[in-house]
Amino acid sequence: MIFKKSTPLRGELAVPGDKSISHRAVMLGALAKGTTSVTNFLKGADCLSTISCFEKMGIEIEQLPSEILIHGKGLHGLNAPETILDAGNSGTTTRLLSGILAGQAFCTTLTGDASIQKRPMTRIITPLSQMGGKIESLSDNGCAPLKITGHPLKPIHYLSPVSSAQVKSCVLLAGMYADGITKVTEPYLSRNHSELMLRSFGADVISEGTTAAITGNPVLEGQNVIVPGDISSAAYFIAAGLLIPGSEILIKDVGINPTRDGILKVCADMGADIQLLNKREYGKEPVADILVKHSELKATVIEGALIPTLIDELPMLAVMAAFAQGTTVIRDAQELKVKESNRLDIIVQHLSAMGADIIPTEDGMEIHGGKPLKGAVLDSYMDHRIAMSFAVAGMAADGETEILNASCVDISYPEFYRDMAAISAS
C-alpha cells in the first residue's frame, strides 16, 4: 500500500467492534447456557480463530450479517476436538483458551502461526501449573504448540509479575473450574473486559484495586452483547485527524473503558483538541463518540500505570510524538518486545528510516519530535498495528511511504484502508 501526504480528513465513521470484547463474547457464550447474541462482533482474523476453535469443540456458532449467535452448552459442554486447535496470530485466543482447556476433562493441542510460536507462554504455564493444570510446551521453549491435558484445578492467589489482561483472564477463566475463590493481582491494572463480561453472564467476580477474584463453578447464562467500537482501531483515526492540518472527524460508538483510554489521556496531555460526545454504556462498557480536530502537539511522558491502558496504541503514539514539539519519553514498555512483533525495535527502525530523531532505551524510547518526516519503504513484519501506524505516518509525512505486507490489517481491521480512504479526499 502506498501513502502520500493527505489533504484534510473530513467526515464521520464507525470503527469495527472491539477485538478483546469480541473474543470474550465467543468464549463466555460457548460456556453459557442458552444462546448469546453478539452485535458488532469483529470479523477480523483473530476473532475468527476463536470461533473456529470453539466450533471444533462442538459449539454451534451462526454468523449472520447483523449479529453472531453462539449456542452455548454450559461450563462442561465442550467436546474433545478431533484435530489440533489453531489460534492463528492471536495471543488472546491462545492464552485465554488455555485457561479454559486446563479445566476440561480431555486433552488438546493448541498452536498458532510463526509469530504465536515465538511468544512467551510461560506466563500462563506457571499459574496454570500452580492450579494443578498440566500444560506442556511441545518445543520445550515456553512457547506454543501447547499440549494441555485437562485436570481438576485448585484455586490460587496468583501474583502476576506482568500487567497483562491475557494472563489475568487466563487465570480467571481457569478459576471457573476450581472449587473456591481464585485471585489474580497484577502490578498495574490491565483491561478489565473479562471481569465485566463474566459478571454480566452471572459469575461472581470481585475487583479491588489491581486484584480480581472469581468464585468457581459459576452458572453462566447466555446474554445479548453489543460490542463497542475498538478504541485501538479508533487510535489510527484519532492520530490522523490530529496530525493532518485542517482535519475534523467524528468517530462514532467507541469504547472508552478507563482501563483502555490511556490514549485519550496522553492526547489531552499533548494538547490535542478531542471531545467525547454522547457518552453512554453498552452493558457495563462505557462508550462515546470522539470528535477530533487537527492540533499542534507537544511532547509528553508515557510510563507506569498508563502503559497497560494504551499498550496497543504505543506504535501510533510514538509516530505522533515524532510530529510533536519537544522530547517524548516512553518508559516501562518492555512488553512491546513480545507482541505480534518486537514493536520496540520496529518503531525505532521505521521512525529512523523516516528521518525522526529517536533513541531506543531498555524499556522504551526517547523521541526528539518536530523534525519533518519523509516517506520510506517500511515492512509491517506482518504486524497489523505496525502497518496501520505507519500508514498514518505516511499520510502526515512528505513524499511517498510504501507499506510492505500491508494485508495483515485483516487481523483486527479488515476494512482499514477503505475506511481511511473514505475520509481522505486525496
Q: Which residues of 23-49 are buried (b: 16+ CB within 10 A; e: fewer)?
A: bbbbbbbbbbbeebbbebbbebbbbbb
For residue 11, what is its C-alpha cell?
A: 467526515
Q: How far is the CB of 170 from ligand S3P (least distance, A)?
A: 9
Q: Is 260 annotated as a binding residue?
A: no
Q: Distance (Å, rounded) from C-alpha 107 to C-alpha 87?
A: 16
The size of the interface with ligand S3P (CB under 6 A), counted in residues, is 12
Residue with the three cell numbers 463474566: 198
Piece of the chain touching ligand S3P by CB under 6 A; list 147-155, 163-171, 204-212, 274-282: 163-171
Q: Distance (Å, rounded) from C-alpha 101 to C-alpha 114?
A: 22
Piece of the chain touching ligand S3P by CB under 6 A; list 161-169, 179-187, 198-206, 215-223: 161-169
Q: Is 180 annotated as a binding residue?
A: no
From the list 1, 6, 20, 143, which residue makes contact with ligand S3P (rule: CB under 6 A)? 20
Interface with ligand S3P, residue 165, by CB under 6 A: yes
Question: Is the CB of residue 27 less than 8 Å from the CB of residue 100?
Answer: yes
Q: Distance (Å, rounded) from C-alpha 171 to C-alpha 128?
A: 7
For 255, the 3-state DSSP assignment is strand
Interface with ligand S3P, residue 166, by CB under 6 A: yes
Tell me if the bond preceding 145 is cis, omega within 30° of 0.
yes
Q: What are the helix (H) ranges across 205-342?
A: 231-243, 262-269, 314-323
Interface with ligand S3P, residue 311, by CB under 6 A: yes
For residue 286, what is its C-alpha cell?
A: 462505557
Secondary element (H or E) of residue 408: none
From the list 37, 89, 98, 164, which residue makes contact with ligand S3P (rule: CB under 6 A)? 164
Contact flags string 226-265 toward ligand S3P, x per CB under 6 A: ----------------------------------------
Q: Which amino acid is at 334?
A: Q
Any idea which residues carry the catalytic annotation?
312
Q: Which amino acid is at 186?
A: E
Q: How far is the CB of 423 from ligand S3P (least distance, A)?
A: 25
Q: How far is the CB of 368 from ligand S3P (least distance, A)?
A: 27
Q: How far is the CB of 166 from ligand S3P (least distance, A)?
A: 3
Interface with ligand S3P, residue 348, by CB under 6 A: no
Among 317, 285, 277, smallest CA distance to 301 is for 317
Q: How far is the CB of 197 from ligand S3P (least distance, A)?
A: 11
Where along the sequence are the contacts to ligand S3P (CB under 6 A)? Answer: 20, 91-92, 164-166, 169, 190-191, 311-312, 335
